[in-house]
Amino acid sequence: MSGNNERSSGPGLTPEQQAARQRLGSLSAAEADPDYRARLRRDFTRGVVSPARSRRPLLLGHPVIRWTLAAAALALILLGWANRGPAWQVLLATPGGRIQLDGRTVKLRGSSDLSSRLHAGAHLRTGDSTVVVLASPGDLVLEILPGTDVRLPATPRRWLARTIRASVDTGELRISTQARFHGARLLVNTPEVSVAVTGTTLAVIRPDFGSCICVLEGTVRVAPPQGSYEPVTGGHRFTYVRAAHAAERGDMLPSERNALSQLRRAYGAVSRE
């Protein structure tokens, strides 16, 4: 009889421990959550085991994971910073000339004053007697003639995402690429055509009747409306006449050849495809 009492009360237990044991023994078993039981039954019949849901937050919260993610984010930021192209430089601007830059009239006093205002996508319109020559050092030179309405491209990035875009609505934009432009691409749009430049010297001209592309050297690809790109080689021109909805091809005019040759001589060697 005394042995049974020892087994029920527990040998060597204090009165407080015996009371706690009796309270625990009187507790009823907890009911399983119905959703949990249903999920276990479903996984068992399918022969799969659901991963523990609580491990994902613990994994992401691990110090090593946090430091790794932070280091990767910092590396991407540094790469983006290092990959930036240089700022546009003004090589020439007609003294006392006027331009409209992003809708505001600017009187040209010096190259540095204009350089600080230029940015990718800037809307620039030169006055009737104003010439502006811009450079992305080592990449390309842009000569913007009087009466030209142009949207400036970004300067080419150094390694990644090296496609840049510009547009010409009226006037004439002369372009000469340089050695570091290799591997980059400039897309120039007019209201009629799209021009792909990968290494050359050319003029994009937008008179009232349409668009004309004159290529001094290398190869430029031109796409008319709803058409595919086709090559225009050195010494030739491609003219799209808007009223006729047709393209004309021929030799470039001597005056344009001379002007583009002078641009190339003035600002260094080009990178040709």
Specify the 3-state DSSP secondary structure of 36: helix
pLDDT band at 219 (very low <50, low <70, confident <90, very high): very high
Residue 186 is predicted with a pLDDT of: 96
Whether residue 193 contacts residue 227, with contact meaning beta carbons closer than 8 Å, is answered with no
Residue 98 is predicted with a pLDDT of: 92
Which pLDDT tens digit goes with each residue over 20-36? Answer: 777 767 766 666 677 77
Residue 271 is predicted with a pLDDT of: 45
Between β-strands 104-107 and 132-136, what pairing exists: parallel, antiparallel or unpaired? unpaired
Distances (CA, A) of 182 to 30, 87, 271: 73, 18, 6
Q: Where are the alpha helices (DSSP H) in the chain?
A: 2-9, 15-26, 34-46, 55-60, 63-82, 111-115, 254-267
Instruction: Write the CB contacts of 245 (distance below 8 Å, at least 6 apart in sequence).
Output: 225
| Architecture label for domain 89-267 | Sandwich (2.60)
And the tokens for 36?
């949990």
Burial class (CB in 10 A: 0-12, 13-18, 19+), 118: middle
pLDDT mean across residues, the chain: 84
Residue 273 is predicted with a pLDDT of: 45
Residue 256 above 80 pLDDT?
Answer: yes
Whether residue 45 contacts residue 37, with contact meaning beta carbons closer than 8 Å, is answered with no
And the tokens for 138?
């080592």
Distance CA 110, CA 126 (A): 15
Whether residue 247 contacts residue 209, with contact meaning beta carbons closer than 8 Å, is answered with no
Of 91, 93, 112, 131, the closest CA to residue 267 belongs to 91
Phi first, then psi, for residue 217 (nearest 5°) are -155, 165
Residue 253 is predicted with a pLDDT of: 93
Domain boundaries, the chain: 34-82, 89-267
Which pLDDT tens digit goes with each residue over 171-181? Answer: 999 999 998 89
**For the chain, percent of residues with pLDDT exceeding 70:** 81
Whether residue 197 contacts residue 222, with contact meaning beta carbons closer than 8 Å, is answered with no
Average pLDDT over residues 95-104: 92
Lowest mean pLDDT among 78-92, 102-116, 128-142: 78-92
And the tokens for 244?
């006729």
Whether residue 249 contacts residue 230, with contact meaning beta carbons closer than 8 Å, is answered with no
Report the range out of 4-8, 14-18, 179-183 with the highest average pLDDT: 179-183
